[in-house]
Structure 1
Amino acid sequence: MDELLEPICFECVGDSFLQRMIINAGKKGECLTCGKNQLSIELESLANEVAKILSDTVEIGDYHDIWDIESDRISHTEQSGDPLNYFVTEILRLEDEDDPLIDLVMDKFVGQSPGDESFFDHENYSRKTIVPFETELNWIQFQSELMHKRRFFNEKAKRFLEWLFDGIDSYHVWGFGPGVVRTLTPDECEPIYRARDCTPPKDESQKIIGDPANQLAAPPKELAPTGRMSPAGVPVFYGAFERETCIAELRPPVGGKVISGEFRLTKDARVLDFTALEDAYDRTVISYFDPEFIRKVERRQFLKDFHGVISHPVVPDQEHEYLKTQVIAEYLATQHSPNFDGVIFASAQAKHDNGRNIVLFSHVISTELLPPVPNENGWTFLFGEPAEPGIQYVPESLIIHKIETVKVTTKNTKVIGGELECDIDDFYERGY
C-alpha cells in the first residue's frame, strides 16, 4: 500500500459522510493533527474536495459603500458575508473555527481557484442561492406524465413522489408552533367546520336541518364529486378550521345561502400541514461531500414553495388541473410509509390570509364493515362491525348564512402600447 502524504485521520473531521469515505478507502497514516496512526485521507485530496464544494456553494461577497452622515460622503467600502474559514468549518462539521485542520486545508487552496486566480484571496464570502431547476423540471415532467401519458400504474410518478416526500417527518418549524407532520387528537384539535351551498334552486336546507350529521358529512361514494384531493367516486372530508373559510371555498353568489356545521375528531389523525412547509427546516444534516448534496438542497427549496401548488385556485370547468393533487393525496394516503390521514393547506378563497382547509382521506371517514374477528367466546360472525368514522358532527352547531356581499381584490397592471408596463398602483404611487 502506498504511503499517504500528510494524512488526516477520519476522527479529525466531523462530517460523518466524509468519515465513512475515509474508512471505506482503507488507507492508514500518522495523522498531521492528532498523531494517531489510523485510517486517513491525504491533506491535498481533502483540500481539493473542500475547494470544489466551496466553488459550488459560495461566492465572493458583494462590496458596498458606507456613507458617513457627518461628512456627507462615502467613508469606506465593506464586503458582505463571512470569512472563508467559517464555511470550511461548516463543510468539515468542526466545532471550533480555531481547529488547526482549517488552516492546513486553507493553505492548500493556493493555485486551486476555480477559474479565477483570486477566488480564495477575498475577505468575505456569501452562500450561493440554489434554485431548484432540476426539481422543478422533474415536477413538470410528473405533471405531463399524468395529464398526457399514463395516469394509472405510473411507476415514474410514484418514484418522483417517493423522492420528494422522503424524510418529510424530519421537517420542523422554528419556534414552538406545530410541525409539518402533525397528530391531531380529539381532545386538542381545534373545531373543524364543513358547509354546503343551499342557494336556490338547489336549496336543500330543510333536508340538512333535519339530518345534519349525514347531510353535512362527506357524501357517499356513489355521489362523491371530483375534488382537489379526490377523483369522482372517492369520498373524502373537505373542511376548514374557520366557518368563514368554508363559506368562501363554496364561492356562493350574493343573495345565496350557505349552511355550516361544526365537526370534531373521534380518533387521532396524522396529517401533513402544507402551510408549515414554507417556514420548515430539516433536522437531518446533508453532508457537503454527498454527491447528491445539490439535489437534496434543491428538494428542500422546492418543498418550501410546494404549498402554492397545493392551494392554487382552480377555475370552474378546469377541474382536470386537480389530477396532480389527487395523485399526491392518494400517494400520501396509501403509499407513503407511514401513511397520512389527511392534509392541511391554505385557502385561496378566504378573505384573510390565515384561512386553512383540512382534508381527511377516505379511510378516516369510512363506515364500511371491518373484517370479522372472533368474540370472547371464540365465535367468528359472518360480517364484521361497521367502522367508526374518524370525525363526527357536533349537535346544535348549525348556522345558516345569507350572502350579502362578496369582496373581490385585484392586482392591476397598466397596458401601454399593447405591452404590460407595470402595476397601476405602483404607477400612480410613483407619480408618472
Structure 2
Amino acid sequence: MSTDGGKVDLKAFVGEADHTLLVAGGVPAWDSAVHAAVERAAPLLVLTTPQFGVQGYVYLCLPQRTRGCCGEMGGLNKVERKWIGMRRKLFEMVEAPVNAKAPYCRECTTDPFVKKLVDERLKGDACMGCGMGDKGTYDAIIVARAAAKEIIPKFFTRQIAGEEESGRLFKIEEVLSEVTGIVNGALCEAMAAEVHCMEVREMLYLPGSHYKKIQTNFDKAEDKRAFVLDRWQRISASILHGQRYYNDSATNFFERLFDEAQSALNHTLFGPKPSATSKRKAGLKLYRARRLESQADIDKISKSAEQELGAPPKRLAAQNRMNARGIPLFYAAEGQATCIAEVRPSIGDTVAVGLFETTRDIKFFDFRKFKHFRQEVKLSYWVEDYQERQICRALLFEISELIAQPVREGETGYITTQAMVEFIRHKLEDDFGGVIFKSVQDEVGVNYVIFSDKEDLAMLHDVNYEPTFPVMLCRKPTFFEINAVSYSSKKL
C-alpha cells in the first residue's frame, strides 16, 4: 500500500497487514531510541507518512514475535509506552492534513500532551498565537477534532435549555481551551469553528451551546481527605487480606501514585525542583540507637560497636515499617533525641547511640515534601485514568502522615508501606538509595532509611552473603539511661 501523500485508512491498513501499529514522531533522536528498542524484539518496516505532518514514521511489528517474548510494547520503557499509546490514540481518531490550518507552538499551550505533539516537530508554520515557528508548531485543528470526539464528552455536558444551572457554564471556546491548554483567542476560535463543522455528536456541539463540567466521584466528595484515605485503606486491605505478592491493583496504584509524585515540583530560590527527590552528599551525619537489656549488651557494643549498632544481618532482620522480615535496611535519624525516641524506651532503660556518616552521595525519595505547597505539571485531560490520578495527587498531601503512623508490634499494618518502599527501590527508574520521612515519635524529627548496596542475583544465592550499606561509624557509641518519658494527647 502506498503512503505518499493523500490520506491513508490506518485501521484498514493495520487490519490488512495483521500487524501491531506503533506511531512515533519526527524527532530523529527520539525515533532512534524507539527504533532501537523495538528492533530488539522484531524487524521493522518504516514508512514515511506526510499526512502525519512534516515527517513521521509508522513502526509495524509482527505481533507473534513481539508479544511472544515481552508483550505488545515490551521493548520500550514506561515513558515511551505511555507516549506511544497516547499518540496512537490521537492519530486513530483523526485524519491529519499535510498543511496546518491553525498552527500553535509549545509556548501557547499548558497541557503536557499537547506540548509533546509540538516537541516532535523540527519545523512548521508560524504559530497563529504568537507568530513563532522556528522551534516547531502543530495543528490545533487536529487536536480540536480529537478532543471533540473523545475528550470533551468524558468531562463536559451541554446545558439543556430550561435545565437548572449549577456551577460554572463554559462556551465551546472555553471548553477547548480547558482541555487543550491553549489560551490564545484566535486559536480557540479556529478550533471552535472546526468543532461546529464536524459531523459528530451533533447535539453536543450546536452553535451557541453552553457546557458544564461532569463531576467525578472525587469532585462530588464532601470530605476529599476522607475520600483519598478510603482509597489508601482499600489498597492496604487488598494487599493484607487479598493478593499480597501478585497484586495488579496495588501495582497499578503505586505506578500512578509515584508517576504523579515524580512530576510534582516544589518552589525554591533557585526555581522549581522535583518534590520527590532529596540529594545528600557523602558525609551526611545520622544517629542510630539500640535499646539494651543487660551489661552483656553494653560490653558487646563497646567491643564491636559498628557491627552491633549497624544494620542487622539477614537472619536477625525483623519486619519493620519499611522492610519485610529477612531484608535488612539501615534505619537512622537526623537527631540524637529522635533516634532515642524511635526505639521507644521505658524509664530506666539503657540506650546505646552511634553516630554514622554516609560514604557516598545518595538520592532519597522524600515523603515529607508533599505536605508543602508544590507546583504540579498540569494533569492532562488526555490521560486515560484521569480520576485515579486526581486521587493520587490528593493522596500525596497525606502520604507523609500515613507512612509514619505507629503500628503495635506483631501486627501486619506495615505491609503496605513495605510494598511501597520495595516499589520505590526496585521499580522506579530513578536510582533511589533510600527514603526520608517524618518521625512519629518526635514531632520535629526526621528519619532516614538507607537501602543496601546493589547486589546481583548470584550474591543473594550465597548463604554466607550479607548486604552492605554505604555508612560507617565515625565515633565511639554513647550510652544513655532513660529517666523520663513524655506523652501528649488530644480529646476525641
| Amino acid corresponding to residue 403 of structure 2 in structure 1 | I
Residue 418 of structure 1 corresponds to none
Pick one of 269, 283, 287 that aligns with 1:193. 287
Q: Secondary structure at the match of 1:165?
A: helix
Alpha-carbon distance change, 409 to 10 in structure 1, aligned in 2, over 3 angstroms: same
The count of residues paired between Structure 1 and Structure 2 equals 348
2:414 aligned counterpart, secondary structure:
helix
Asked if structure 2 preserves the Cα contact closer than 8 Å seen for 1:254 and 1:403, the reply is yes
Quote the residue 1:27 is aligned against.
none
Q: Which residue of 1 aligns with 2:181?
A: 93
Asked if 2 retains the 8 angstrom alpha-carbon contact of 1:11 and 1:19, the reply is no
Residue number in structure 1 paired with 2:246: 153
Report the counterpart of residue 354 of structure 2 in structure 1.
261
Task: State how far apart, in whole Å, the 2-side matches of 1:20 and 1:272 are.
Answer: 27
> Is 1:182 equivalent to 2:278 in the alignment?
yes
SS of the residue corresponding to residue 169 of structure 1 reads helix
* Structure 1 residues 186 and 321, CA gap change in structure 2 (3 angstroms): same
TM-score (structure 1 length as normaliser): 0.65
Q: Give, as a single letter, the amino acid of the residue that structure 2 aligns with 1:337.
A: E
Aligned to 1:278, which of 371, 390, 393? 371
Aligned to 2:475: 395
- Quick check: 1:367–1:388 contact (8 Å CA) kept in 2? no
Which segments of 5 or more consecutive residues in structure 2 lack a partner in the other structure?
1-6, 8-93, 119-126, 131-136, 159-165, 197-205
1:204 matched residue in structure 2 = 297
Pair member with larger Rg: 1
Partner deviation per Cα, 1:67-100 (whole Å, 9 max, x = no partner): xxxxxxxxxxxxxxxx99999756543455xx34
- Equivalent in the alignment of 2:331: 238
What is the CA–CA distance in structure 2 between the aligned matches of 1:387 and 1:51, rounded to whole Å?
54
Two-structure CA RMSD over aligned residues (Å): 4.8
Name the SS of the counterpart of 1:222 in structure 2: helix
Equivalent position to 1:327, from 419, 427, 433: 419
8 A Cα contact 1:170 1:282, kept in partner: no
Report matched runs for 1:408-427 at 5 Å.
Answer: 408-413=487-492
Structure 1 counterpart of 2:141, from 40, 44, 61: 40
Q: 1:295 to 1:55 in 2, by over 3 A?
A: farther
- Cα distance in 1 for partners of 2:129, 2:313 equals 70
Match of 1:343, SS state, is: strand
Cα displacement string for residues 213-255 of structure 1 (whole angstroms, at most 9, x for unaligned residues)? 1111011111111211112222111111111111111111112
The equivalent residue for 2:434 is 342
Which 10-residue stretch deviates more, 229-238 or 130-139?
130-139
Q: 1:220 to 1:18 in 2, by over 3 A?
A: closer
Distance 1:87 1:112 in 2: 9
User: Hey, what's the Cα distance between the residues in 2 that align with 1:44 and 1:387?
Assistant: 56
Q: In structure 1, what is the Cα distance between the partners aligned to 2:361 and 2:245?
A: 31
TM-score normalised by structure 2 residue count:
0.58
Higher helix fraction (1 or 2): 2
The alignment partner of 1:395 has SS state of coil
Please give the per-residue CA displacement for 1:290-309, whole angstroms capped at 9, x wherever unaligned.
44333322221112211222
**In structure 2, how many angstroms separate the alpha carbons of the residues matched to 1:238 and 1:314?**
16
Measure the CA separation in 2 of the matches of 1:95 and 1:37. 15
Q: Which of the residues 390, 407, 424 maps onto 2:486?
A: 407
| Structure with greater strand percent | 1
Alignment of 1:49-128 (within 5 A): 53=155, 60=167, 91-94=179-182, 99-101=185-187, 110-114=208-212
Question: Does 2:292 align with 1:213?
Answer: no
What does residue 360 of structure 1 align with?
A: 450
Residue of structure 1 equivalent to 2:393: 300
Give the residue type in structure 2 aligned to 1:207. K
Please tell me whether the aligned partners of residues 452 and 468 of structure 2 are also in contact (alpha carbons under 8 angstroms): no
Question: Which sections of structure 1, spanning at least 5 residues, go unmatched?
Answer: 23-30, 62-82, 117-127, 372-384, 414-432
Checking the alignment, whether the CA contact within 8 Å between 1:182 and 1:271 is kept in structure 2 is: yes
Contact 2:300 2:308 in 1 (8 A): yes
Q: Secondary structure at the match of 1:204?
A: helix
Change (3 A) 1:283 1:412: closer
Structure with greater contact order relative to length (CA < 8 Å, sep ≥ 6):
1
Distance 1:20 1:326, change over 3 A: closer
Specify the code of the residue in structure 2 equivalent to 1:399: T
Residue 285 of structure 1 aligns to a residue whose secondary structure is: coil
Taking the aligned partners of 1:294 and 1:246, their CA distance within structure 2 comes to 40
Question: What is the distance in 2 between the residues matched to 1:360 and 1:284?
Answer: 29
Q: Give me the whole-angstrom Cα distance separating, in 2, the residues matched to 1:37 and 1:272.
A: 36
Given the alignment, which residue of 249, 259, 262 partners 1:166? 259
For residues 303-349 of structure 1, the C-alpha deviation after alignment (integer angstroms, 9 at most, x for no partner) is 2211222111112342x111111111222222322343211111111
